[in-house]
Structure 1
Amino acid sequence: MNDKNAGYEEKKNRYPDSADVAGGERGKAFHAALEREEALKMIINNSQVVVFLWKNEEKWPAEFVSENVVNFGYTVEDFISGRVLYGDIIYPEDLNKVGEELQKRILTGAPDFSIEYRIFSKAGKIRWVNERSFIERDQEGKVTHFQGVVLDITERKRSEEKLKKALEMQKVLTAVINNSPAVVFLWKNEKYWPATFVSDNIVQFGYTASDFISQGILYGKIIHPDDLKRVEGELERHIQKGEVSFNSEYRILTKAGDLRWVNERTFIQRDGNGSVTCFQGIVLDITPRKKIEEALRKSLEMQKLLKTIVNKSSAVAFLWKNTENWPVEFVSENITQFGYSAEDFTSGKILYGDIIYKEDINSVFESLARAVREELDSFEMEYRILTGDRNVRWVEERTYIQRDNQTAGGHPTLKDGVCFGPPARLLGDR
């Protein structure tokens, strides 16, 4: 220790000179004590534990401090000289807490106290310390000194703070997952994929997390039997290709036995040797989407069937815009019976009004205007049209009026209709 440590100097002066005791038993014991003291000083000064002896006075002036206080940037002289009081280096927001805790222990007659707080290094950096102090009292019970050991715990506090933030983030992510439709799994690379983790929102399928974690239910067992081999085969192919992730869609059984479609996003985990260890999976219920897709598929099949029926009949289906001369948005392919192609109309090359016989155009317009004015949903009329080879044909039109929702009664936007015109009904036959 620094020879300016008063306590140590006083202790040295109380011992007789080594020359006076050399050769005697007392001298041997004295030298052994000095060696032990030097060894103890060396251990302390090479450790992270700083030793203090503080007076029981304001801001705790130090009578003794070990040389390793240099770990905080200070020297022994800073404290022993009184230039620096220990209370001055305690972080201001922690100072009252330290004083109050110490006072509490004194009043209860406790022999010691322990506390964690922040101090400033000489460079002004904040360091966390753990202090364990022993309270010294005189014969009358009055507190005179505090013997303390101060340990730098800054790194531990940083680790604790990182852990705290990580746990908070984990809590947030868990809440996000459990409030989302996506169920998170961690499966072992074993038969039927036993789960080591599953998010709580597995309840949407009727199961609990413990159903899987306890191995009471294996994930492979809830996959629909007709899909299981395909799922196993897809997984094996992706593993053999060395891929790290893939998507798969299949059916599972809920706990109640209902079928649900799911989309699984799987991440393949491997060890340092490239061997597969486990799978991370995100399972999303896509049953509503599958129902829509199925309804759309059936609708398209029905549309295809109806289109076939229409195209094989004499009735031509139209969808006209409610603008001048009624441009065509759709016409069935059997328009060919009148000598036109569907593209002639849908491309805009021919407007429907262009093929209406000129002597009938006004009556057609007036019939349509009357139907709109009277807010009819549909109407029928007969008139003549010109075929592609300029023959005149009589047709019967049955039209349904589509309206928007922007005005009272609805403004007509489109007309869809069916025109019947058997090839035998030529103008001359009428």
Structure 2
Amino acid sequence: MPTHPTRRTLLTAGAGTLTGTLALSACGGFSTDPDSGTTRDDDTLTMITWAGDAELTAFRALADAFAAQGGPRVELQVVPYSEVLTAVDTALRTDSPPDLFRVSYTDVAAYRAQGVLANLPDPGSLESSFLPAFWGAVTDDEGTFGVPHHTDTSMVLVNTGAVASAGLGALPATLDAAWTWEQFLDAAGRVRPSRADTYPFAVNWQNAGAFRWLNFVDQAGGRLLTPGLDDVAEDDPGLLEALTFTRDFFRRGLVPQASSSRGQPASDLFVNQTVAMVFAGDFLLQEIDGAGFEYQATFLPRDVNASADLGGNALVAVEAGSRKEAALDFLEFCAGAEQMGAFCAAATVLPTRTDVDPADLDYAVRPDLMPLFVEQARAIRTELVEQVVVPDFSAVNGQLADRLDAAFLSGDDDPAALAQIVAGVRSVLTP
């Protein structure tokens, strides 16, 4: 058997190797195509992930730096985001599990509950280095099952030219000065479309992002799930207030009908200038920056609370993987402070470690906007996080996508539409 350096040796690797590798990672020594015919020896780790170009480059850098410190080779199997859970589930069912995979925080608990994930051997040595909300997303009473690799959150991006005549003035520049719900609707209502197919804004609740509707529920001081996390809080007034508020987006013609929760991605509508403003995560800035128009960012609207969505992803190791110990070493290597900082700077996302200051990172895209996203992330509230990391949340999210789509596009009154959402969510909660 090949020998590897100790966990401590790998985790204390200098950032120089990783930073240098970021510039050379197009020549990374692993396959990004599971059908490429690449020969994989027994010492190679396999990892299923989705990745945009910048993320792929950053993952290659991590893998090359890990190998340079004596770790095993990592074979990255890249699939579209919409297919990653299917790819993982198929591999698990066919007894050919990957050693590692990338997973949204909202899906971690489902795999934890199935006993699929390997427990970190010494989580106590890492916990104090991570922000509590993200550590909690990979931890339960049985242990810690993965590392919080990074986070992202949404803000409102504004096409500078498209709203120039709206008289909005300076956009709110601090979280405390964020538009209230009423102020946001007033601002949106003053945007005058320049084309027949132009709308004031779109919200990013498509593509498995239906959970972002819960931002509005939390802003209204409400909850989807009861404090015990085992039932729907159907009588919570914040639920109805949020549904009425967001249905008004469609009823007033402020958003395209095609931007419902089963509709066209909001970022696409912004890039092609169908909408003048968009709710979007920082990880989309690279894509949006190539659209060829000037844009700014401001904070999510607020009501009783300022609230933001829990974005980002964890890296997890598979309990049944034949190289579990090496996979856990790679997880902890990726979550090291220097490695995390380099990844976040390259991929335009936010660190989850308390000892990585985003202000010190050399962001590749819109470094002027990233401090605003850092401030917005302060509004990721524990009360909301605990609801979106329950084991049933993948199914809950699917029900939200279906039932919100029906609610946004139907003529039912608001209480009737909410009753359908409540029934759908309750149908997938484990008794």
Q: Which has the higher contact order (CA 8 A, sep 6+)?
A: 2
Q: Which structure has the highest strand share of the two?
A: 1
Give the alignment's TM-score, normalised by structure 2: 0.15
More helix by share: 2
